[in-house]
Structure 1
Amino acid sequence: MGAIQEPTPAMGPYHVEIRGEGFYLNRADASGDVVTQVSRYEVTVPVADAPLLHAAFDQVTGHPQWQRWPRPAQGEQPDTTWTLPPDKQGPPADTHWTVTVDGDRLSIRGPWVVYHEVHRNLLGTELAYADMTELRKALSAATRGRDQQ
């Protein structure tokens, strides 16, 4: 069980639930014409969502739990075996983030499992705190210099 945070206006349709070593990131209003689940580990959202995602990440890093999560030991390699499907078929998620822009779409692929409930217009995933810094850098690099308004 986590602590559901009150979304800020800057987060738009995103909201977070703080947990022990990570957080849930959810997007309401995630109809199929707005969000696409490309694979178990990849999603596309409007490129205009980049500042909304940064605002959601700001809420996470501003929470006291952010300072308390156990840091990995120096040189410890990422483990994404937890992302394997229940039947253990297929590869686990990538250990690093790939964020690309294609026109007005932002593709995000990395160490997470994405759930897109089209019938409820809900997109959800769980992110480890350990992955936040790299994801923020990849998101910033992919959208740097773009007019996201």
Structure 2
Amino acid sequence: MGAIQEPTPEMGPYRVEMRSESFYLTRTEADVETTAAPTRYQAKVPGADLPALLAALDQVLTHPWWPKWERPALGEEPDTSWVLPPGEEGSAPHPRWTAVSDGEAVVITGPWVVHHELRENRRHLLSSEVCYRDVEVLKAELEKATS
């Protein structure tokens, strides 16, 4: 069970739900024209979203419980088996994060599963689960994409 955090104004359309070892990251108003999940392990977001996305990650990093969550050992390769498709068919994602600017958008690839869904025939959501161990690396990759 998680705890939905109150979004800050800087987070724009992004929302965070904290859990014990990971958090859910959701973008509301994720219309398919500008926001998508091109593959199971990718999200495409407008480049203008980067400040809001970074603010969402900052909300995780500044949470009072942040120092208590487990961290990987130095040099330890992350286990990405939890993101395999049902039946363990298909390939696992690369364990490293990348954020590549693609004109007006940024394509984010990493050890997560991205879902694009239509709720109630009107509200599009792009959501994923991110392990706490990945937050700082993901943030660094997104910061590189802003420059």
Please report the TM-score for the alignment, with normalisation by the length of structure 1: 0.92
The alignment-based identity, stated in percent, is 51
Structure-to-structure mapping, 1:44-83, within 5 angstroms: 44-83=44-83
Uncovered stretches (5+) of structure 2, i.e. residues with no partner: none
Could you give the per-residue CA deviations for residues 96-141 of structure 1, whole angstroms, max 9, x where no partner exists?
A: 0111001111100001010100353011100011011111111111
Counterpart of 2:126 in structure 1 is: 123
> Which one of the candidate residues 124, 132, 135 is aligned to 2:135?
132
The one-letter amino acid of 2:27's match is R
Deviations 1:38-63 (A, max 9, x none): 10100101000100011001111111
Partner of 2:29: 29
- Partner SS, residue 136 of structure 2: helix
- Residue in 2 aligned with 1:90? 90
Question: What SS is found at the alignment partner of 1:140?
Answer: helix
Number of corresponding residues: 144
Map of 1:99 onto structure 2: 99
**Conservation of the 8 A alpha-carbon contact between 1:20 and 1:65:** no
- Judge conservation of contact 1:5–1:16 (CA < 8 Å) in 2: yes
| Structure 2 CA distance for aligned equivalents of residues 77 and 139 of structure 1 | 21
Tell me if the contact between 1:93 and 1:111 (Cα under 8 Å) persists in the aligned partners: yes
Q: Contact 1:94–1:111 at 8 Å: present in 2 too? A: yes
Mapped to 1, the partners of 2:56 and 2:140 lie a distance apart of 14
Query: Quick one: distance in 2 between partners of 1:114 and 1:2?
Result: 18
2:84 and 2:2 mapped to 1: Cα distance? 23
- Give ranges in structure 1 of 5+ residues lacking alignment: 145-149
Mapping for residues 1-20 of structure 1, pairs under 5 Å: 1-20=1-20
TM-score by length of 2: 0.93
**1 CA distance for matches of 2:75 and 2:42?**
26
- Shift in Å at residue 75 of structure 1? 3.0
Q: Which moved more, 1:132-141 or 1:63-72?
A: 63-72
CA distance in 1, matches of 2:75, 2:107: 28
